[in-house]
Amino acid sequence: MNFLSENIYYIGAFSLIFIGLYILLVKKNLIKVIIGFSILDTGIYLFLITIGYIADGTAPIFSKSGLKADRMVDPVPQALVLTAIVIGVAVLALAVSLAVRLYGHYGTLNLRKIKEQRW
Amino acid sequence: MVNPVLLIVIPLSLAFLIPIFAFISKKILKFIPFVAFLFNLTISLKLLPRVLEQPVLTTIGGFAPPFGINIVAGPLGILFATLIALVGSLVSIYAFNYIKGKAQEKYHILYLLLLTGATGVVLTGDIFNLFVFFEILCISSYSLVAFFGDKAGIESAVKYLIQGTLGSSLILIGIGLLYGRFGTLNMADIAGNIHSVHSMSVFVPMVFLITGFGIEAAIFPLNAWLPDAHSSAPSSISAILSGIAIEVGLYAMVRIVFTLFGASSILTFLLILGALTLLIGELCAFSQENIKRMLAYSSIGQTGLILFAISMGSLSGITGGLFQVVSHTLGKALLFLAAGYMIHRSGSMNISSFGGMGKKMPYTSFAFSIGAFSLVGLPPFIGFPGKFMIIKEALSMQEAMFTILIVLILLATIIEAAYFFKVIQVIYFKGESGSPVPEKEIAPAGILLSIFIFVALIVVMGVYPGLITDALNASASELLHRVDYIKSVLP
């Protein structure tokens, strides 16, 4: 029980990552695959945030007197997440616009039916 | 003193200035990538002799290395940057005549971004920064594969995007795990502390990173996207993807394995993976009817050979592998450009439609043959010294496993020769029965110029391999001596 409550954020983040991975591998519809990516990405963001998280921590600014550095949340993972979110949005936008074009060409989003290119 | 950060800044800022240039004149747009990479080529050639003595370090924002992002221009990084700038400028000459129509400015923006990303990956010394540049490279190549917007292009781009994004996600997880363990993102800092923690806690992030970069480098079980993407992209982009993008993925992988983790125990695994990739790539290439698909599978094979050579982990093995990188980049870019122009003329990607090309397009056919001979490894072209070094080094290893792997490699080379000679035979000896009088070739100057510079480079470097072996040796020793790398970044 102790293990669970100590690592609950990591468990949550990796559950999201695996849910996303499952959707990615199993679903046939391209839109669902893109949603799977979104979930996978969210899991990664949570994981990155968790690395630098301290319970009841504050922002790393010396605003109050008597505030020590060990009560501050690590700011680096938050900067990483911000960058990763921007990249994720770019990929998502590109994926959705490609899905629109794909539907225009094939009339379906079922990835199992789209197989003109093969070995 | 030239600052290596210019190699990244100039193309990046020019990429975003293109829409403004488009207001002034649409006609100058196509010269912008050429100017940018000619500039990069000058700078990196100027830097090359200096970095052979000592790596040039640049900090960004004035923060000292463990905290800020730093640029490490070592021999390996500048070697790759030179190669990227060289191929980038030559392919942009080709694109003068090849890319037409309304969407030109988008093509040039994405092209500049793709190569900026590649240059950034090879120069950066910060692992998260490496991820960001890698994503710039990947996202612009997804959209360039779909540039024509036809059925095959869109389908391949979707496939490439799904697999490539999965790879990037794995890389990000690996970086997160490393940061959680070491509390730093600087590669030299992580490398310096890697042996102080339990080996299992660095093994997991290593697996994530190798798998992630392995997808972009198209190592055997992860290469499903490559033949589609490389065959459906515009030919100038296929040349860049084959010549630069997968090599950059391979660079990242090698950098991770050698410098970051110093993991010599995983090399045997990579060695076998490389030989398998080589064999499978060449076998698949042999059975293709579509010329660009054949070249794409041949790229998979060549990547396998490079991985095999570098995984031997000895100085001359890595030198041979890097020589193979140079020869594959030049040879495959030339083949894709020449094939692209022949496809443009014949209107079909099928190999059988190339009959009689030797008479219709003598210059392009000649260049294609030179590229094919070089890739197969015939002297006096650049492909020969690379393959020779690799085989020689593998023979000197004196182990039973190497004997089997050498047999596999030679077998793969024979298959490679077979399918390239098949194409050359069609080009030269199967005339079109319908047209006895061949029409004269009216090739645009830009296309012929870029193709012939490639031919000249292949022949010159094949005859004088000593021109680049100094730089290659220095790069190989940079990979092998990770302590020197760490000391140079963190004195």
Q: Residues of B near A (CB-CB distance < 8 A)?
A: 128, 132, 135, 139, 142-143, 146, 149, 151-152, 154-159, 161-162, 165-166, 168-169, 172-173, 175-176, 179-180, 183, 185, 227-228, 231-232, 284
Locate the chain B residue with the closest alpha carbon to A86.
B132
- Cβ of residue A45 closer than 8 Å to a chain B Cβ: no
Q: Which residue has the higher pLDDT, A45 or B437?
A: A45
ipTM higher than threshold 0.85: yes
Minimal-distance CA residue of chain B relative to A102: B154
B334 near B383, Cβ under 8 Å? Answer: no
Q: Does A13 touch chain B (CB under 8 A)?
A: no
Backbone angles phi, psi at B264, to 5 degrees: -80, -15
List of chain B residues with pLDDT < 70: 1, 431-442
Closest CB to A116: pick one of B146, B152, B166: B152
Answer whether B157 sits within 8 Å of A98, measured CB to CB: yes
Task: Determine the 3-state secondary structure of A53 from DSSP.
Answer: coil
CA–CA separation, A71 and A64 (whole Å): 12
Contact B165 A95 (CB under 8 A): yes
In angstroms, the Cα distances linking B210 to B263, B322, B469 are 12, 19, 28
- Alpha-carbon distance of B249 to B255, in angstroms, equals 10
The answer to whether B179 contacts A37, with C-beta atoms less than 8 Å apart, is no
Neighboring chain A residues of B110 at a CB cutoff of 8 Å: none
Measured in whole angstroms, the distance separating CA B177 from the mean position of its chain's CA atoms is 28
> What are the tens digits of pLDDT across the range A59-113?
888 777 777 777 888 888 989 999 999 999 999 999 999 999 999 998 888 888 8
Name the pairing type of β-strands B56-59 and B70-73: antiparallel
Distance CA B84, CA B37 (A): 8
Backbone angles phi and psi of B59, in degrees to 5? -100, 150
CA distance B425 to chain A (A): 24
The confidence score (pLDDT) of residue B86 equals 94
Q: pLDDT tens, B178-218?
A: 999 888 899 999 998 888 888 888 899 999 999 999 999 98
pLDDT value at position A58?
80
CA-based nearest residue in chain A for residue B136:
A87
Write the single-letter amino acid at B352: S
Check residue B112 and give its pLDDT: 93
pLDDT at B359: 81
For residue A36, the model assigns a pLDDT of: 94
Q: What is the pLDDT of residue A118?
A: 65
Tokens of B462: 């094949």
- Closest CB to B165 among A74, A76, A91: A91
Q: Which of B146, B166, B179 sits opposite A51 (nearest CB)?
A: B179
Interface test with A, best of B110, B159, B162 (most A CBs within 10 A): B162
Instruction: Give the A:B interface size as CB pairs under 8 Å.
Output: 86
